[in-house]
Each structure stands twice: as C-alpha cells, then as structure tokens.
Structure 1
Amino acid sequence: MSTIKTIALRELAHARAGDKGDISNLSLIAYERKDYELLRRQVTPERVRQHFAGIVQGSVTRYDLPQLGALNFVMQQALGGGVTRSLALDAHGKCLGAALLAMEIPIS
C-alpha cells in the first residue's frame, strides 16, 4: 500500500486577498516559478470550493496568471451577504487567504 505524500500550500505559495460585497478574491502566488505548474494542476476551482464548503455558497472561478506564477480565485456568495451584513467574525479577505494556504495537495 503506497501512501500519498501531501504538502500544505503555505510551503509553496503565499496569498493575497480582497473582498467586495459578497465576493472574495484570493490570489495564490508561487514562491518559486518551478512550483506554479503543480499549483495549476492541483488547486482547481472545484478543490477550492470543496475546501471552503460551508463558507462559499456560489461559484468559484479561477484565472491563471502564468507570467506572475499566480492563480486568482473569485468566489461568489462567500462572505455571508457581504462584510457589513455578515455575522461571521473576521471571515473575510486575509482570513480566507490564510485558510486557503492550509489546503493540502498531493506531491509526487
């Protein structure tokens, strides 16, 4: 039985975040260019939506930015109605970026 090795995204990348209304915008930026392709293959919109199950109620769209070694995720209905309407304690922007970096992906 072989075990699948995993790594947390924080080991390969950093995140930037923003929010507007009920939309969260997260960017995942590889520390090293060599890791961009692994991130592109493993960090899909579906996996991000699954990672944020219970938080993101809408769609997740990914934009690839290969020149920057980055992936940008736009998550709809992700902020409990918006920052000014949400009862969640700091579940916006930077907090979601930190949560994304906790995601584990398989490595070979």
Structure 2
Amino acid sequence: MNAPLLLHRLAHARAGDKGNRLNLALVCRVPEAYAPLAAQVTPEAVAALFSARHPSKVVRYDLPNLGAFNFVLDDVLEGGVNASLGLDGHGKSLSFRLLELELEPTEDVLRALRVIEDR
C-alpha cells in the first residue's frame, strides 16, 4: 500500500492570528504546484481538515503571482490568545496541520512533485 501524498511535499505554510481568526499562508514550492493545489486545497477541504475546531467560515484568497494561497478560518482559536486555555492560542502549529492534508495523486500533482525532486 502506498503512503498518502501529503501537502507538505508541495508547499510550505505559515500561520498567524487576530483574535479568534486563524490566517494560514500556503506557498507552493514550485510554480507547477499552483494549479493542482488550487484544485484540491479548497475552502471545503480545509474546513473538513479543521472540522474538530468547528470553523464558522473558511475563505481562500488566491495569490497566483506569488504561487500562494491565504486561508482565513473564523472561530478556531478558542477565543484567541488572551481567552484560550489551549497550549497554542496563536494557532502557530496549525500550519503543520494544514500540511498534513492528503492530496489525490493526480497527474498534475505528480508532475509538480517530480519538478521538486529533480531540483
């Protein structure tokens, strides 16, 4: 059985916060990854990945000139850094959770992965 193809193989991520709103930046490792990630890393897929945190809204902002996406998730930080009893009230570790998203190994995804591996 093949191991799942995880998003971290094609992209980097950073997290930030404002109150109870999580901001996740997803940056493609190579330009060839942008289109296949745009197709698979949808607001719905991200909402499902973070469903245990009950996001009330997930919005994706596309940044094609940067080869990046910005996701904004509302109401996932247990009230934010000043209100949360969680160990990570800022949500910094949640960028790593995003990078665990399993990708469908489509031809475009595998092509982008080969570009990365050939570097």
SS of 2:51's equivalent? coil
Q: What's the counterpart of residue 55 of structure 2? A: 57
SS of 1:71's equivalent? strand
Mapped partners of 2:17, 2:9: distance in 1: 24
What 5-or-longer segments of structure 1 have no aligned partner?
none
Higher strand share: 1
Mapped partners of 1:56, 1:97: distance in 2: 16
Higher helix share: 2
Offset of residue 83 of structure 1: 1.1
Mapped partners of 2:57, 2:27: distance in 1: 21
What 5-or-longer segments of structure 2 have no aligned partner?
107-119
- Give the letter for the 2:59 counterpart: T
- Give the letter for the 2:60 counterpart: R
Using the aligned pairs only, state the percent identity: 47
Q: What's the counterpart of residue 76 of structure 2? A: 78
- Give the letter for the 1:93 counterpart: G
Instruction: Tell me the TM-score normalized by structure 2.
Output: 0.82
RMSD: 1.7
- Give the letter for the 1:92 counterpart: H
